[in-house]
Each structure stands twice: as structure tokens, then as C-alpha cells.
Amino acid sequence: MIFPFSNNIKEVKFLQGNQACTEAAIAVGCRFFAGYPITPSTEIAEEMSKKLPKIGGTFIQMEDEISSLAAVIGASICGVKSLTATSGPGFSLKQEHIGYAYLTEIPCVIVNVQRGGPSTGLPTHPAQSDIMQSKWGIHGDYTPIVLCPTSVKEYYDLTIKAFNLSEKFRTPVILLPDEIVAHMREKVEIPKRIKIITRKKNSLPPGNNFRPYAVNSDDGVPAIPDFGEGYRFNITGLIHDETGFPTTSAEITKRLLLRLRKKIESGYGEIRGIEINIPRNSQVAVLSFGASFRSAAKAAKDSNAGTVKLTTIFPFPEKEIRELAHKVKTIIVVEMNLGQIVHEVERAACGSAKVIGINIADGQLISPEIILEKINQCR
């Protein structure tokens, strides 16, 4: 169903969440997908397998989730915007390569459509159980970018944002919808024009003194060339110096890890995704993300409570939550798990407001009635 619109709206489509992801990925320039079928993300692979070959792109079904992200990393270092998609168990398998892409500064986007767990869990039922895995899944110090949509339109918009952030900061970006948002169908306004960022290109000619990880700008992001452009350089998962070769130097190790963190922290203004709405005289705020926010917003509206919507989960909005805690008495955190983001909110609030979790992990969306009851108890 397509209707022409004016202004910056190209058309309106009735899309499933996973379909919106593929449309946005292609619009922002993704031309490579490697993945392995897993519910509830499989529609992304199906759509990419149909659409990419028609526009000169490449789709590969790999033998497992580990090799899928390896292929994506390989395509990306050749200069191709690349995507993979999975769910809980597959996301666990991808962790080693997420760490590799982070340390080697290779842009890519990983979609993890969350389902119930642990292990095989509930393949066809929703959950928000991978929040902490997206933050702490890899070993070592790691500053991830993790985005989470609450609607099909946000799924479209955040897919574009994920690719742009990945390219700008040369880092893997995780997109973390839940099964409900991935499988629901809603109206999506497709814009004529979108913001497209491409990775910084190297301006120095190939030569023996070439240093791929040298940083010559304040943003802390190196201009690493693509394989095949005539440059010869090394990429390793070991701690490396500016030449790309391994080192055990304490000073270089410290400098590299701090730079990787700082480039993300310095870009927080662009990465940031939080919406706070506190009605006058309201002393209760309901914080949530993904499909859970839809129930939270309904309960808050019916009770004149405030709402906090997170579309960027990490870097976590500590400053904003700390300021919120001085404005309200209670923050209710709603999430489909047994307690993950609630602990981040407690830490950021620093005791200035009472933090209460509504944490249910039964494969069902938390109802507005449950949230409304908790709001009324806090008054």
C-alpha cells in the first residue's frame, strides 16, 4: 500500500518492523548482508536475499552466526556497508567478533531481535533479555553503541542512525529491537532525503611510512583505507600500535583503549537518544524502552505520570537520569526481564529518587494495567 506525500515524505508504507529495517539499511547504502536464519530475525535475511542482488549488492547465508559476522567484517574492510541480524543465542556467538571489530575499528551493524532466554528459550516470544549482554558480552574494556526502537518507524530511523554512527565512529553498532517491534506492522513514512554518513577516507598516498591507525583529528577516529586501494597494512585482534602491528607496550595499550572510549564519549551528543516528559506536579516517572514503552506510555497518560523513553541504551544517559532523580520522587523502570536497566538507573540516580522495577519475563508484553497499579501505589 503506497500513497504519495509532499514535503520530505516520498511515500507511506505499511511495514513489518524487520521489513522497515531492511528498507532503511538499503536506503542508507548497505550492500552486503551475511547471516544465519534464527527466529525472530529471519525476515531481515529473507528481505535482504531478495533485494540486495537487484541493486548490485551481495547476500550470503553463512554456516553459523560466528562466520556471519566474520564475513560482514571482511566486506566492511573492503569499503562496503555491511549488516548481519540474529537473536539471543546467535548474538552470544557473535561476541568474539564484536570485540574484534571494536578493537580494529571496522564499521558494521548487528541487529539482535530479542527473544526469551536463556539458551534456546522462547524463540517466538518477546523479551528484553540481552540488554546487559550488549554492554558486557565481550571481554575487555568496551564502550558500545546500542540503539533500541519502540515502533516500526523508529526501527527504520534507528537503522539509518546505526549505520551513520558506525561509519562516523568506525565501530560496530548494535540495534536491539524486541520480537514485538520486529513483527508488528505499522505505517511508516519513507523520507525522500535521509542523512547518509560515510567513513573518513585516507588522503595520504600508499608508502612505507603509512600508518593506518594514526589519528590526525580531534574526533579520535582514524582514516583507515579500504582493502584493494593500493595500501598494504596489517589488521589484528591484538593490541596494536599506529602501524597496525601487535605491541605489548603499556603506554600504547593505555593510549589505544582510552582513545577508543573517548571517541564514543565525545560523540555522545550525536549518539544520545532519550526523551523525557514530566507533567507539572508529577512526582512519578516511568522509564522504559522498546515495546515495553508503549505500555508504559499508556499507563503514564492515564495517571498523569511522567515518561522517559530510551532509544539509545548505551552509552547510558547518566547525566539525564541524575537530573531527573532531583525532579521526581520515584522512577519506575519497566522492562521484559528480571532486572537489567533498573540497576543502571539506580546507579545514575545516586539515591536522589526511589527506583522501582517492574520486571516480568514470561514471554508476554507487560500490560498498562500492571504499570498503572504500580504508579498508584507510589503516590
Q: Going residue by residue through the chain (379 aa), what tens digit of pLDDT does each one get?
A: 333 444 777 899 999 999 999 999 999 999 999 999 999 999 999 999 999 999 999 999 999 999 999 999 999 999 999 999 999 999 999 999 999 999 999 999 999 999 999 999 999 999 999 999 999 999 999 999 999 999 999 999 999 999 999 999 999 999 999 999 999 999 999 999 999 999 998 877 887 788 999 998 899 999 999 998 888 899 999 999 999 999 999 999 999 999 999 999 999 999 999 999 999 999 999 999 999 999 999 999 999 999 999 999 999 999 999 999 999 999 999 999 999 999 999 999 999 999 999 999 999 999 999 999 999 999 7
Cβ proximity of 124 and 97 under 8 Å: no
Cβ proximity of 335 and 131 under 8 Å: yes
pLDDT score recorded for residue 331:
98
**End-to-end alpha-carbon separation of the chain, Å?**
46
pLDDT score recorded for residue 5:
42
pLDDT score recorded for residue 2:
38
Nine cell digits for residue 253: 595499550
For residues 233 and 200, what is the distance between their CA atoms, to the nearest angstrom? 17
Whether 3-191 shares its CATH topology with 272-377 is answered yes
The amino acid at residue 118 is: P
Pick the CATH number of 3-191 from 3.40.50.300, 3.40.50.2000, 3.40.50.970, 3.60.15.10: 3.40.50.970
pLDDT score recorded for residue 1:
35
Alpha helices in 172-317 (DSSP H): 179-183, 250-266, 268-271, 290-303
Nine cell digits for residue 252: 600504547
Domains in the chain: boundaries: 3-191, 272-377
For residues 30 and 240, what is the distance between their CA atoms, to the nearest angstrom? 29
pLDDT score recorded for residue 13:
96
Give the global pTM: 0.96
CATH number of the structural domain 272-377:
3.40.50.920
Cis peptide before 222 (omega within 30 of 0): no
pLDDT score recorded for residue 209:
81
239-266 exposure pattern, b = at least 16 Cβ within 10 A, e = fewer: bbbbebeebeeeeeeeebbeebeebbee
